């Protein structure tokens, strides 16, 4: 762990809140975790990439869903940040970041459940399911719950 984790920057990232026709939200169980660690698709923003483009790429990489199956509804106006737990600082992302700053993108899923394919080239999830917005926070890995709560608040007018 670095001497002063607070001196490290935040990793630029996107989070994808994917909503189905019933107003439920997609969550996946992290494949690299032995404990319940559900989250929404997310990942880094590549150099020169817009948050919307990064969100569509991450959605495809983690769920196999293509852009024609979704509609972008909203993007958070600002960055939402979270810090890694002390035990993870220095161990993930090459020890270069203290946490992530995220733009969240709300998308409406226009496809069918059988089009979700988490068995991708580099699988992130071992299982997935739809949850109501009210159920999401209780399932999310604890150190990310606050940022998820802020994203849910940002999109509350679009969630049914």
40-74 residue pLDDT tens: 999 999 999 999 999 999 999 999 999 999 999 99
Task: Please state the pTM of the whole predicted model.
Answer: 0.92
Whether residue 120 has pLDDT greater than 80: yes
Q: How confident is the model at residue 11 (pLDDT cuts 50, 70, 90)?
A: very high
Q: Which residue reads 């983690």 in tokens?
A: 62
Q: What is the DSSP string of 24-36?
A: -EEEEEETT-SS-
C-alpha 107/C-alpha 69 separation (Å) is: 10
Q: How confident is the model at residue 91 (pLDDT cuts 50, 70, 90)?
A: confident
CB 100 within 8 A of CB 13: yes
For residues 83 and 59, which has the higher predicted lDDT (pLDDT)?
59
C-alpha 37/C-alpha 39 separation (Å) is: 7
C-alpha 119/C-alpha 103 separation (Å) is: 25
Give the burial string for 52-71 (b: 16+ CB within 10 Å, else e).
Answer: eebbbbbbbbbbebeeebbe
């Amino acid at each position: 762990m670095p001497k002063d984790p607070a001196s490290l920057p935040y990793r630029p990232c996107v989070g994808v809140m994917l909503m189905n026709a019933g107003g439920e939200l997609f969550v996946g169980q992290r494949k690299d975790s032995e404990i319940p660690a559900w989250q929404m698709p997310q990942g880094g923003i590549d150099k020169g990439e817009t948050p919307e483009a990064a969100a569509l790429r991450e959605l495809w990489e983690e769920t196999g869903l293509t852009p024609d199956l979704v509609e972008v509804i909203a993007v958070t106006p600002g960055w939402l940040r979270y810090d890694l737990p002390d035990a993870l600082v220095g161990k993930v992302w090459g020890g270069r970041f203290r946490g992530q700053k995220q733009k969240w993108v709300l998308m409406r899923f226009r496809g069918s459940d059988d089009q979700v394919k988490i068995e991708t080239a580099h699988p992130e999830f071992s299982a997935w399911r739809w949850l109501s917005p009210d159920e999401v926070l209780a399932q999310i890995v604890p150190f990310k719950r606050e940022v998820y709560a802020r994203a849910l608040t940002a999109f509350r007018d679009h969630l049914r």
